[in-house]
Structure 1
């Protein structure tokens, strides 16, 4: 039975769910205040197509499970990324992840892999299955996670118990920031990510923007209407009011917006103190005259996680920050974690320049952007326009017991209003988004949609 469904937000989660609902015969309309893609979009710089947003493709089994629900072949042509998760330039020395044989840290890396190994077969279940204890498969997967993490409630606590060398501990702790949280706050699962990812880190042959192209193509083939530049200003039950004064009513509304933004559309006031937000970021994207002599991925963690945490909670720019450097041909991206204050940080801002000098010194690449043919910068003020207050990339910071795959999150707010996306499936990146889509898709089917 065809029923009208409205999806608020045309990012990865909104578009992915739209295609799955339309595949089951529903008439789906996606509304976006800007252009489709959310944080994932393509810019043109110096004649080249440059992707913003997610830069790595991990846990491809989640993507393949999504495709099976559409009976679609994989159009992405994923290619292994040289160096996997990249070289992590910790205060104790550089650490490549995964650690290769022959490296002094390799025996410790192997011990770490053995500690995480019992969870590996269940990761796909945890990412794509509703967190319900009455589900025997989820119970089995949750039990595996709890056995691996033991009594430890945070990534920092779990790593401390492993007694790994400081350099490896620091590199692994950095991955808590995949959830926009510090190691002392993030669930233990985030300390396990490098082991669970292994060397299976990739990107589509045509760049990350190929994922957006695929989702749009899947939706178009199934009749999904994507209304770009159509801001929704109010939500009353299942009736939308648009910025142009028009209205639209759907039998079902699914919000792929940040929950705070959804609350505002419903006329409800929800506060978001800076101290409780996840991080925001500055993305510097450039096209160079020639390829940079750099690895595909370089990671510069904060020197001191505790100091970084204090600054972020106060809304102050830290002395140094998590920095991801991705080099791909002539394209270079430098991604800097910042407090979620909505600040308009430009390329010329003294703090941004200081972080770029740190990159140049650490990677032995002086004048990295000096001869760039073109650059552009996306900052917290950009991410705040359509997302969480202050531009928090992963929404509000949740306590460890509410994060990760065991999250007790409200996917269903009312009978006709549901939620999907990073804000309700904690964790950053493509796996969390696509996993959350499959969870909501299954729950909607069970509810008769």
Structure 2
């Protein structure tokens, strides 16, 4: 997705562009067909639509995604202290507490899109203002866990907010404080394209084709020579004026013949279960089951072990259900018959009061850490390596420019998370390249 996003911008600037993709175009985001119904894999929520609008403006394109609010916003959070919808409605007993939380985060809201879409430069007054706004909101509390604890929220709300730290692919103790602020920043704008998340991929492909970008799907790059701006394919070498990698930095290092540091902590991976049921599901559009104990959960992830219970994100629409389970990034396959998988699915069924998911489904499909590892990240990790708190969020952990002829783009470089990071990172690299050529 990052490669397609940047390719369209570079094509619009008049550059001849070729995109090489080892598999199908779009990486993690594609359409999965089950008994006549389509599932969109990859990101399941569309957030920060203002970043999408900035991207469209850069291409002088109209918005044809037809974004529609997701019923129930961020969903019903099944915490150990009871179920909690986010955002909380006015009639909820904890609504005043939710308002206090939103008010605490509100000063950052006008600056979030800036942090997602401009280079992190200390010489840029716009970036400095946005970063200062973030600093005033988080104060001395660098991790999501420390920020939440400092606010003295009630246990149900605190547990629900901790859940969103996993948008960073990390436990609340290891995720930047920014991720504890996400529910207040996105709860009112959670949406999905009318045609499903796959519509975004289709739009990006169209933008590329309209700008004469050459799209070479199922064409894996086997080696990269940065000095010559050359890629090795199966049957030939191709030389270009400039290379931009949308791969995980560790995978890029392998292709360059460089040593890859072993033993680094990784962000989490996932197990995605897609199912079609005989009858429509009587469930909320989104249900979230956090780990019951984030400390135990963290210990398991750090040991690359399956936790006693994990984050489960459940989407339901008609006869379609998607259950996304957080797992350690080991790259190992997990089958539907694995006892741990059965146990986690059973937990979902009991918590939601739903019919058996695996036993009664008409059709199912599974995508596990082994699948995501084949897409190029270590162990199938969602955002690659885990970085210290001070190298996270707006202070990106990897450089965009590796040399005069080799650049990087994508969520492993700009870990804002999901679609906003993909589009924002493309806007950043496009701007930096434009400035170097000026």
In which range does the TM-score fall when normalised by the shorter chain? over 0.9
User: How do 1:19-418 residues align onto structure 2 when only pairs under 5 Å count?
Assistant: 19-237=8-226, 238-242=229-233, 244-273=234-263, 276-407=265-396, 409-418=398-407
Q: Provide the C-alpha distance between the structure 1 equivalents of 2:433 and 2:320, rounded to a whole number of angstroms.
A: 41
Report how far residue 155 of structure 1 moved: 0.6
1:241-281 Cα shifts (integer Å, max 9, x gaps): 11x231100001000000000000100011242x6000001
| Structure 2: gaps (5+ residues) | none
Q: Provide the C-alpha distance between the structure 1 equivalents of 2:336 and 2:140, rounded to a whole number of angstroms.
A: 44
Are the aligned partners of 1:411 and 1:419 in contact in 2 as well (CA < 8 Å)? yes
Q: What is the root-mean-square deviation in Å for CA atoms of aligned residues?
A: 1.0
Q: Provide the C-alpha distance between the structure 1 equivalents of 2:424 and 2:148, rounded to a whole number of angstroms.
A: 26
1:358-407 Cα shifts (integer Å, max 9, x gaps): 00000011313432121100000000012211100111011111111122
Report how far residue 42 of structure 1 moved: 0.5
| Structure 1: gaps (5+ residues) | 1-11
Q: Provide the C-alpha distance between the structure 2 equivalents of 1:50 and 1:152, rounded to a whole number of angstroms.
A: 39
1:183-216 Cα shifts (integer Å, max 9, x gaps): 1111111000000113211000000000000000
2:333 partner SS? coil
Report how far residue 408 of structure 1 moved: 5.1
Report how far residue 348 of structure 1 moved: 1.5
Are the aligned partners of 1:284 and 1:334 in contact in 2 as well (CA < 8 Å)? yes
- Superposed structure 1 runs of 4+ greater than 3 Å apart: none
- Aligned pairs, number: 436
Report how far residue 133 of structure 1 moved: 1.2
Are the aligned partners of 1:272 and 1:389 in contact in 2 as well (CA < 8 Å)? no
Are the aligned partners of 1:387 and 1:393 in contact in 2 as well (CA < 8 Å)? no
Are the aligned partners of 2:397 and 2:414 in contact in 1 as well (CA < 8 Å)? no
Worse overlay, 368-377 or 330-339: 368-377
TM-score normalized by the length of structure 2 = 0.98
Q: Provide the C-alpha distance between the structure 1 equivalents of 2:285 and 2:121, rounded to a whole number of angstroms.
A: 39
TM-score normalized by the length of structure 1 = 0.96
Q: Provide the C-alpha distance between the structure 1 equivalents of 2:203 and 2:61, rounded to a whole number of angstroms.
A: 10
1:406 partner SS? coil
1:108 partner SS? helix
